[in-house]
Structure formats: C-alpha cells, structure tokens
Amino acid sequence: MTTTSARPALTAQARARRPAQRSRRTWHLTVIGIVLVAIYIFPLYWMVTTSLKTEDQLFTNPPTWIPTRIDFSAYLDTVFGNAQMMRSLANSAIISVGSTILTVVIAAPAAYAFARLRLRWSALLLLPFLLAQLLPTINIALPMFALFSQWGLVNTLPGLILADTVLNLPFAVIVLRPFYLTIPRELEEAAEMDGCNRLQAFLRIVLPVVRSGLVTVAAFAFVMTWGEFTFGLTLATKQEVQPVTVTLNSFIGQYGTQWGPLMAASTVVAIPIVVLFVVFQRYITGGLAAGSVKD
Amino acid sequence: MTSIASARRPVPAPRRAGAGLRRRWLSTGRYVFVLPALLYLVLFMFYPLVYTFDLSIFNVNAANFFRGGAEFVGFDNYVTYLTSPTFLSSLAVTLVFTIGSLLFQHAIGWAFALFFNRGFALSGLLRAILMVVWVLPAVVSASLWRWIYSGSFGLLNAVLAWFGIHTTQAWLVDPHTALAAVVLANIWVGVPFHMLLVYAGLQGIPATLYEASSIDGASRLQRFWSITVPLMRPVVITALLLGFVHTFKAFDIIYVMTAGGPAGATNVLSISVYQLSFDYFKLGEGSAAANVLLVIPLLLSIVYLALRRREETAL
C-alpha cells in the first residue's frame, strides 16, 4: 500500500527534477523503448493480422509479415455469422455487468466500514479477504458445482454472476479501503450535523468522494469477469449459458488448425478488454499496484 | 436518526447514557456495512471450502452424485491420490512451471522497470501498452500462443528460421518441449505485472538518496547495490511470494494450451483436480486432490501474513 500512496507525489517530484533538456538527451531511450515494446507486443499484431489474412497469405513460408489483401470473412463466418459465438458474447456481457454491479454494491460499504473500524478489528476482519485472493479458483469451483447442483444454480447466468463475484469481492474491498482512508472524518460529522443518518451520509457524501476508487474497482471487476474461465467451464456445461471464454476454448477443439477463424474469435474476445483498458488505464494500473491480484 | 438527535451529539455530558447507546449503535452500524460482504464470503467461499472436506471423505462419483448415498471412506481418497503416480509427477510439473515462470517474469520485469525508471518521453505510454498483455483474457493468450507454437507455419519457427534454425517442431505436441513452451507463454503474460510492482517500488525511493551518494562519489553500480537493492527488499519479497501463490494455482492458460498433455507433460496439480472431478467425475477423490493443492499456498500465506505484520512486505 505504501508504494501506491507515495506514487503521485513522487512522480510529480520526478517530473520537476527533469528539465526539458533532459528529455532531449534521452530521446535514444525513447527509441529503444519503442523497439522493445514493439517486439514484446508483436504476438498481438500477429493475432490481429492472422485474423485478417486470406487463406493463401496464412500458410506461407516465410510468413506474410504484412497482409497485402485484407479479408474480413473470418469475422463474418466465425463471429457474426455464428449463433453460439454471438450468444456467448451476450452471456459474457450479462455476467460481467451483473458481477461488476454486485461487486461494487457489496464492496463499497464493506471497504468503508473497514476504513472506519478500530484498527484491531479491521485487521482481523480483513484477513479472510486477503487470504481469499490466494485461493486456487478450482478449489471453489469444485464444491460450488456440487452445491449449485443442489441449489439449482448450475447452468444459469445468476449462478455464474454469484460465482464470479467471489473472485472480485476480496480484491475490490482491499483496493477500495485506502480511498476511504483519505476522507476526513469531519466530512461525515458535518453531514450528520445536517441531519443525515449514517446511510444517507455514506450514500450522498462519502461515495461521491471515492468515485475514482469505484471506477477502478468496477473496471477491474469487469476485466476479471470477462476473462474468467474456470467457473464458466465447470458451472456452465450447457452451451446456452456459456461465457465467451468457454466458447473460444471449444472453438479450439472444433476449428483445430484453422488459425484465421480462431484468431478472429480471439481478437473479438480481446477487444472489449483492450478498449476498457485504454479508457480506464490510469485507474486500472493504479488499482493493480495496490491490490496486486489476478489469476 | 433525526436531525435533532444528531444535533445533540456534541453535548455529551448530561446525556451520558444516551450518547453511549448512540455510540454503540454507531459501531454496530459499521458492522452492518461489512455484513453483506462477510456473509457473501461465508456462503460462497468458506462454506464451499468446508464442503470440499466433506466431499473428500466420501466416495462421491457419477453413480451416487445426483442420487445420493455416497459411502463414507475416511481418508481413503487422500491415500489413493497421494500414492497415485500422477500426484508426484503433477507436483514436479507444477513446481517447474511455477519457479520457471516466476524467476523469469520477475527478472525481466526488473529489467523493464529499471529501463523505464530512467525517465524518458513516452515512457508512461509504453508502460501502459505493455500492461495490455497482462489484462488480456487468459484464453485469448493461450489460443494465440497455440498458433505461435504451431509446427508448420507457426511464428516461433518462422523467427527461428530467420536465425538460420529450420525446424517444423510442434512445440506443444512434443512432450519434451510442451512444458517449456507453456512456461514461456506464461512468462510473456506475467512480465508486465512484475514490471508494474517493481517500477512502483523504484519510484518510491527518494531521489535525494541517489543524489547524496553520487556526491559522495558512488558509482552507478554502487548506488544500485547500496540503495536500490536494500530498499526494494519488501517489493521483491511481496512480488515473489504473491507471484508464487498466483502461479502455483494457474489453471486456465495451461488448460487451454494443452489441457495437461501431451502425456501429462504439463499436467499441473490444478488440472489434475479438474480431471479427477469433471472428466472422471470422481468428486470425492477430486476434492481430496483439491485440499492437497491448498497446502502450499496456505503455508506461503502464513509466511506472507507474518512478514506483513513485521512490515517487510510492500502490500
């Protein structure tokens, strides 16, 4: 936690001690950086170009590094023309939005209480949330399959929302808590003086102040849920409720070495996450350093 | 609470009992805020974990799972699993996967972090682009690397051909190379995260320390060993401990790339739990395997919490 809280001040400091001439002297580092990052993300370029190549450009030796003709037929056939793919994209959207809302609604008051409880209790109660992040997903998925079978929640979207929230909740509470710690108690006391009760003070005064924390947690919960695979694989055996990650995995078996369609499907699964990341980048990386979790 | 009641609060002396009551209500009020989250974890995490133990001491399988009537077998499932040949080989595969991934992720993450820490134009943007690799759904990375490792037209072999090595090796199909290939893909996924942690730690070291020691005539290497290394200790401990637990439990990226094959070459413990429970539907033995899988992360969690208490970790 210390690392992130110290961050904004220090970056400002770092910026201050870096005069304009220094950035002129470090242009070669920028060039090296661009080359390194380009090499590192080359596999992503490869994924996208593969999905856009015509069959004859796909299987060449040496490979076609830059496609000369662009072909969208892989997208039309395997994604937009494929009922199962479209349905599972919709399922994933429903599960991700549902779990994001549930996570925020439960985590926001909990993190607030943790920030306001006496330290001893807060540390003790936080413990299960800390440990929960370290559990292998399969350890929850297996008994949950048995329990959800009894409760009628296997092969349902609500069942998947409930399961995925288990993964998001501990992270959300831990990431949100420091945001509340920055709020002065006087703010809530003033609200109570004005006649708000504790709940009203929380909803009207406190929550708006921690908006950026809520955005971090929501963005992160969406990213995690969209990419979630283990619960999808174990709790959704019927195609109708499968999230898109499970459908993509079954495509791999189905399409074998038809890499064009497979990379088109992979690209489509990646796009919402990349877009979300570009929009909320600042929030997500900040939250990551604080919570340090993902499967 | 009405406005009058709230307005009374700053006048505690004459209404001592009332104020105490109110204070108590307030503190219970705080617990009410935590309650939904705690109940959620109890119902959907702790109860399932306890239930796993319950399942593991019964002979639960496809025949009796839906109809009931599984037979109590004590610790037989544990004995069967721990003495099966799969267990030891899975444990070995898991440790190689975890340690191999972690060491390279952390070392390369350090290299990137040190590079970006030198501060140059566009460094923030470039770091953000690297992070995209890490937020990608595991299934996407896994299917992409399957294509890269493909024998006849895969990217890896094309790059090797560039360096004069001509091969049609299908990296994920050959039991001798599958594990290394899966580790390499996982390193690619995990480096940005270690870079992020190390970079945040490096940014937290006050610049004045470096300035003072360079005035004293310390070389770049001396400054690294006497300032950076000791101050980064908590970050390194945290990244390695949490990284170990997270990598040890990895499931999706391996499952999608190889499903544990070929011939068990990449069959980590989490996949063996899945196979026992969902492929063979031996839920009793699978539950025993799941509890075995929990042992190492649990021990490391205790180490982590102890270090955290002594404030030797960064998170």
The residues near B104 (Cβ < 8 Å, ≥ 6 apart) are: B183, B187, B191
Dihedral angle sign, alpha carbons of residues B159, B165, B170, B175: negative
Of A127, A140, A257, the CB nearest to B45: A140
Residue B208 touches partner A, C-beta closer than 8 Å: no
Q: How far is CA A82 from the centre of its chain?
A: 26
Residue B281 touches partner A, C-beta closer than 8 Å: no
B73 three-state secondary structure: coil
CB < 8 Å to A289, chain B: 196-197, 200
Q: What angle do CA A28, A32, A34 make, to 5 degrees?
A: 115
Q: Verify whether the Cβ–Cβ distance B41 to A132 is below 8 Å.
A: yes
Each residue's pLDDT tens digit, B104-162: 999 999 999 999 998 888 888 999 999 999 999 999 999 999 999 998 889 999 999 98
Whole-Å CA distances, B162 to A63, A174, A272: 11, 47, 34
Residue B68 touches partner A, C-beta closer than 8 Å: no
For A:28-57, CB contacts with B below 8 A are: 29-30, 32-34, 36-37, 40-41, 43-44, 46-47, 50
**Is B3 within 8 Å of A86 (Cβ atoms)?**
no
Q: Quick one: which H or E segment has residue A102?
A: helix A83-116
Q: Map out the domains of chain B as residue ranges.
A: 17-56, 86-309
Q: How far is B231 from chain A (nearest CA, A)?
A: 12
* B119 CB neighbour count, 10 Å cutoff: 17
CB < 8 Å to B305, chain A: 127, 130
Cα(A114)–Cα(B37) distance, rounded to whole angstroms?
A: 11
Where does residue B269 rank: exposed (0-12), middle (13-18), buried (19+ CB within 10 A)? buried
For an interface test with A, the pick among B27, B144, B247, B280 (most A C-beta atoms closer than 10 Å) comes out as: B144
The pair of structure tokens assigned to B261 is 């094959």
Where does residue B203 rank: exposed (0-12), middle (13-18), buried (19+ CB within 10 A)? buried
Domain architecture of chain A: domains with CATH: 19-71 (no CATH), 82-291 (1.10.3720.10)
Where does residue A170 rank: exposed (0-12), middle (13-18), buried (19+ CB within 10 A)? buried
For an interface test with A, the pick among B4, B28, B34, B163 (most A C-beta atoms closer than 10 Å) comes out as: B34
Cα(A241)–Cα(A155) distance, rounded to whole angstroms?
A: 6
B216 three-state secondary structure: coil
List B72's β-bridge partners, or say none. Answer: B58
Local structure of residue B118 (DSSP, 8 states): T
Extract long-range pairs of B26-35: CB within 8 Å, 24+ residues apart. B26/A198, B29/A198, B30/A113, B30/A116, B30/A117, B31/A113, B31/A117, B33/A109, B33/A110, B33/A112, B33/A113, B33/A202, B34/A109, B34/A110, B34/A113, B34/A114, B34/A117, B34/A125
Q: Verify whether the Cβ–Cβ distance A136 to B249 is below 8 Å.
A: yes
How many residues are present in chain B? Answer: 315
ipTM for the complex shown: 0.88
Q: What are phi and psi of B173, to 5 degrees?
A: -90, -30
For A:102-121, CB contacts with B below 8 A are: 106-107, 109-110, 112-114, 116-117
CB < 8 Å to B249, chain A: 134-138, 295
Q: Verify whether the Cβ–Cβ distance B246 to A248 is below 8 Å.
A: no
Q: pLDDT tens, position by position, for chain B (315 residues)? A: 333 333 334 434 444 444 554 555 455 666 788 889 999 999 999 999 999 999 999 988 887 887 777 888 889 999 999 999 889 999 999 999 999 999 999 999 999 999 999 888 888 899 999 999 999 999 999 999 999 999 888 999 999 998 999 888 999 999 999 999 999 999 999 999 999 999 988 988 888 888 888 888 888 888 888 888 899 998 899 899 989 999 999 999 999 999 998 999 999 999 999 999 999 999 999 999 999 999 998 898 888 888 877 776 766
Residue B232 touches partner A, C-beta closer than 8 Å: no
For the domain spanning B86-309, the CATH number is 1.10.3720.10
Q: Verify whether the Cβ–Cβ distance A163 to B147 is below 8 Å.
A: no
Q: Verify whether the Cβ–Cβ distance B246 to A4 is below 8 Å.
A: no
Closest chain B residue to A59 measured between Cα atoms?
B153
List B58's β-bridge partners, or say none. Answer: B72
Of B26, B129, B201, the CB nearest to A198: B26
Q: How far is A10 from chain B (nearest CA, A)?
A: 7
Cα(B136)–Cα(A261) distance, rounded to whole angstroms?
A: 19
Each residue's pLDDT tens digit, A235-278: 998 999 999 999 999 998 888 878 999 999 999 999 999 999 88
CB < 8 Å to A192, chain B: 1, 6, 9
The residues near A144 (Cβ < 8 Å, ≥ 6 apart) are: A163, A231, A234, A235, B44, B48
Q: What angle do CA B176, B269, A145 make, to 5 degrees?
A: 135
Q: How far is CA A132 from the centre of its chain?
A: 17
For A:65-104, CB contacts with B below 8 A are: none
The pair of structure tokens assigned to A241 is 């409720």
* A8 CB neighbour count, 10 Å cutoff: 11
Cα(B272)–Cα(B86) distance, rounded to whole angstroms?
A: 8
DSSP string of A138-164?
HHHHHHHHHHHHHHT-TT-HHHHHHHH
